[in-house]
Structure 1
């Protein structure tokens, strides 16, 4: 599949988003939204290839697919959210500093990126299919609620209507105790230099943290999965380390354009770019644990499907059940309804995956791919018919 190099979008607030696209620029966008603290690497290239193949086979306007003929009708977009990967890193300070941005800001970033990748494309193609994992799912359903003309479908994987804090008053539990204990037991690098210099310690933490979130014993990493997780964690460390170099390059380019040293670019360093490292993802805790706008779910009218594991301890299954119950979008299967204004008022479809914990494990990709295919086929079929 045709893949772009990693690119940057400068945002109005001065930060930058690093993103990558797969497929033709004129294709219908499929925006992949990562979970809290995750970079674009959580959407593995092999998973994107499987999604492309499935959507190509579902779309009659696409040529027959083969290993040498990837989907030509969809543009897959993955990106580093704030404080992850090569996007802007903020200084890791105290809890108050970590509340400097909210889900609203993360939503604005996603919408700005969608506007950017759709620039110059006919208006009909500016609406996207959204696939969101965990907190990325919240960004997806908030976009669908607030900007319905920009969203064709949403697929929510291991997501929530209220966030990991839960809502005990209405029967939505918080993170379960066993999961919390596993997460707290994972050895972290010491604050400061070790996050920047000890690649092995950071990789060990990231893999341990990922596994602690997975669920019961059936969800422990196999040897092959562990090797893949370690490789991805190493890439995450390396990409975060590039932020300093990226920032210096941007400063140099800006100075060259202005013909003098730019004081504005010094703010990159005030935000913490000079010490960028993987631990910046903890800054997203403020957005994750704040109250999510559950009341907006009823405004989601596009075809929607919720995929959730019954072994998820971070975001227990009840979160997924409530998502499906409170969205009024179509059920997401062929013939279940259409996009936008033609969507039915039935609840969104819920798909429960036995034993799945909180993670996009390769062994569960097939379920996610099939559900994305089904909900996209429902929307595209309604628009054609």
Structure 2
């Protein structure tokens, strides 16, 4: 489905019964909504939620901001604008408020949404994220894969996804080669736009620190982080939890910067416990 929200087109998909507790899933840097596994979403639906996932601006089938004169990145927006996109999509859905779950950059957007529109956020779940670009900074190897030149074709995109998983994925869990390969191919076929990812990265770097804003939140919050995350190190998670009054910090040994399948039930259960409070 597509919606006009905050002046752009947003592609989204809804799961679950209309009466379920509303949950908004926000994905990370360069990642399309299909990066939220349907099996994980199914666990949330089974626990009584109605779930929406969507493509952020500049990825997937939502609006891309490629300049008319070429594909060079242009720092034309901030994470605050992406948070406003989310709030506008909620308007389209008829949701005055929702339980907001964000992963990586999606966690940053979720934080910004909670700060900018606190009445719209019933609960906040921030996964493998950080309150600011200087907190929980990446290891040298992780940053190298993040900033490597873009692949040139479908096979290259799949190879890059597998290499990224090897470097920043979860060392305590077996890499799901089949899932990563299928997801990377599907993402390439839907929309391949490395310049859009670069613009999102610029938005992260330009958006500053949210710590002070997070200190004023009153919504129940959950922070999930991998103890072996090399892209946003554990400091990012602990700093987020420390900033939000009453936030619960849930860490997993062996988890890196991804969502390992064996942890989906525990994560879904923790989110359901939180949404039951909000």
TM-score by length of structure 2 reads: 0.91
Q: 2:124 aligns with which of 151, 154, 165?
A: 154
Quote the Cα distance in structure 1 between the aligned partners of 2:39 and 2:257: 19
| Structure 1 segment 190-209 matched on structure 2, within 5 A | 194=152, 198-209=153-164
Q: 1:175 aligns with which of 119, 138, 158?
A: 138
**CA shift digits 1:224-273 (9 cap, x unpaired):** x1111111111101111xxxxxxxxxxxxxxxxxxxxxxxxxxxxxxxxx
Structure 1: gaps spanning 5 or more residues: 1-6, 57-73, 119-124, 167-171, 241-275, 329-346, 380-385
Quote the Cα distance in structure 2 between the aligned partners of 1:173 and 1:156: 14
Q: How far does residue 209 in structure 1 lie from its aligned partner after superposition?
A: 2.3
* Structure 1 SS opposite 2:202: helix
Match of 2:82? 106
RMSD over equivalenced CA pairs, Å: 2.0
Q: How far does residue 364 in structure 1 lie from its aligned partner after superposition?
A: 1.9
Quote the Cα distance in structure 2 between the aligned partners of 1:26 and 1:45: 19
Checking the alignment, whether the CA contact within 8 Å between 1:28 and 1:126 is kept in structure 2 is no
Checking the alignment, whether the CA contact within 8 Å between 1:141 and 1:300 is kept in structure 2 is no
Q: How far does residue 12 in structure 1 lie from its aligned partner after superposition?
A: 4.3
**CA shift digits 1:180-223 (9 cap, x unpaired):** 34556x6742xxxx3xxx322222223322432225x43451xx
| Structure 1 segment 58-77 matched on structure 2, within 5 A | 74-77=49-52
TM-score by length of structure 1 reads: 0.67
Q: How many residues align structurally?
A: 274
Residue 182 to residue 201, structure 1, CA distance change in 2 (3 Å):
closer
Checking the alignment, whether the CA contact within 8 Å between 2:226 and 2:257 is kept in structure 1 is yes
Structure with more strand by fraction: 2
Decide which structure has the larger Cα Rg and report it. Answer: 1
Structure with more helix by fraction: 1
Quote the Cα distance in structure 1 between the aligned partners of 2:91 and 2:216: 22
Residue 173 to residue 77, structure 1, CA distance change in 2 (3 Å):
closer
1:311 pairs with 2:228: yes
Match of 1:288? 204
**CA shift digits 1:350-381 (9 cap, x unpaired):** 111101101112122122112101111222xx
Quote the Cα distance in structure 2 between the aligned partners of 1:182 and 1:141: 25
